[in-house]
């Protein structure tokens, strides 16, 4: 057997020393050779006392326990004896070994979380200002009213916007041709006269945009004798056909629009 070279301050208690002896001798913790382990344990205590070391009382108590178990193991035992004398020591060593393994896993977690502070849960007092009990029937009626209101909003949106979206799109170019023909016949025409015959709202909008486009390309001119910067386009504004050759021709306008549409 190797000489005992352990120091007392290396162990946290007698179980730690016993577990180290078991691991050193490579024996099964569930079947401890109590004679061998007891002799080594006592030798350790004796060496510590020779060095004038203060041996804690718990180490001495464990030494006496080991000697008692050793004596029980040496004496003949009746076959009907209930328990192995080593059972309690084995159970204590297994629990201590599990604790040491848990320390290895928990130590990094403690180092990581130990510096954190936990805020206590705030207690929110119950609001007792409204104490009227609600009737289930009244609550159900309120829910039905909310559902009916939301359905009414959806129907109103469908009724309002669907017809506007579903109406046909009137090309502005067609209205421009009609406006030019009308003003060529009359010579001078008001804005109201150019768009008054439109029946539907899309036709009216297309005709109005056509007038604005013709004014923009200077195919139509304002006949009123006012400052052009201050001229206001109203229903009675008179418009005349621009016969100046330098203005944009109708055919040029339509060919440009057709090219843009093809692009």
* pLDDT tens profile 115-143: 787 778 888 887 777 666 777 888 888 89
Q: What's the fold here for domain 172-262?
A: Arc Repressor Mutant, subunit A (1.10.10)
Question: Cα separation of 179 and 174, whole Å?
Answer: 9
Domain residue ranges in the chain? 8-113, 134-164, 172-262
Inter-residue contact 32 to 41 (CB < 8 Å): no
Q: Which two structure tokens, joined as six digits, stand for 125?
A: 């007092």
CA angle (188, 190, 195) in 5-degree steps: 120
State pLDDT tens for residues 197-222.
777 888 888 888 888 888 888 888 87
Residue 162, pLDDT score: 63
Residues with Cβ within 8 Å of residue 37, at least 6 apart in sequence: 18, 21, 22, 25, 27, 66
pLDDT at 4: 45
**Residue 63 CB neighbour total at 10 angstroms:** 18
Residue with structure tokens 């539907």?
200
pLDDT at 231: 53
- pTM of this structure: 0.37
Owner of token pair 């109005």: 208
The reported pLDDT for the residue numbered 164 is 59
- Of all helices (H) and strands (E), which one includes residue 190? strand 188-190
Low-confidence stretches of the chain (pLDDT < 70) are 1-10, 51-56, 77-82, 130-132, 160-168, 224-234, 245-263
- How much is the pLDDT for 145? 92
Q: How far apart are CA 96 and CA 192, in angstroms?
A: 104
Task: Give the model's pLDDT for residue 193.
Answer: 81
52 conformational bin, left if phi > 0, alpha if psi -120 to 50, beta if neither: left
Distance CA 18, CA 5 (A): 14
Contact 44, 4 (CB under 8 A): yes
**Measured distance CA(189)–CA(215) in Å, rounded:** 13
pLDDT for position 81: 63
Give the model's pLDDT for residue 223.
Answer: 72
Q: Could you give the CA distance from residue 206 to residue 214 in angstroms, rounded to a whole number?
A: 12
pLDDT of residue 12: 74
């Amino acid at each position: 057997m190797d000489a005992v070279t352990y120091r007392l301050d290396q162990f946290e208690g007698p179980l730690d020393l016993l577990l180290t002896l078991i691991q050193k001798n490579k024996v099964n913790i569930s079947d401890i050779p109590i004679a061998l382990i007891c002799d080594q344990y006592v030798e350790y205590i004796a060496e510590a006392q020779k060095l004038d070391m203060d041996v804690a009382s718990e180490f001495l108590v464990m030494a006496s326990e080991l000697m008692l178990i050793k004596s029980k193991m040496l004496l003949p035992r009746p076959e009907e004896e209930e328990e192995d004398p080593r059972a309690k020591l084995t159970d204590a060593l297994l629990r201590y070994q599990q604790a040491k393994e848990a320390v290895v896993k928990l130590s990094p977690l403690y180092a990581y979380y130990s510096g954190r502070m936990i805020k206590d849960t705030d207690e929110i007092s119950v609001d007792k200002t409204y104490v009227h009990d609600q009737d289930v029937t009244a609550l159900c009626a309120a829910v039905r009213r909310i559902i009916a209101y939301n359905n009414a909003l959806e129907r109103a949106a469908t009724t309002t916007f669907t017809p506007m979206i579903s109406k046909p799109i009137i090309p502005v170019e067609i209205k421009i041709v009609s406006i030019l023909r009308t003003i060529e016949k009359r010579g001078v025409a008001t804005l109201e006269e150019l768009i008054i015959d439109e029946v539907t709202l899309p036709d009216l909008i297309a005709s109005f945009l056509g007038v604005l486009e013709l004014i923009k390309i200077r195919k139509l001119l304002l006949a009123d004798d006012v400052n052009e910067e201050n001229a206001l386009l109203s229903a009675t504004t008179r418009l005349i056909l621009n016969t100046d050759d330098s203005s944009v021709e109708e055919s040029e306008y339509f060919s440009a629009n057709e090219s843009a549409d093809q692009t």
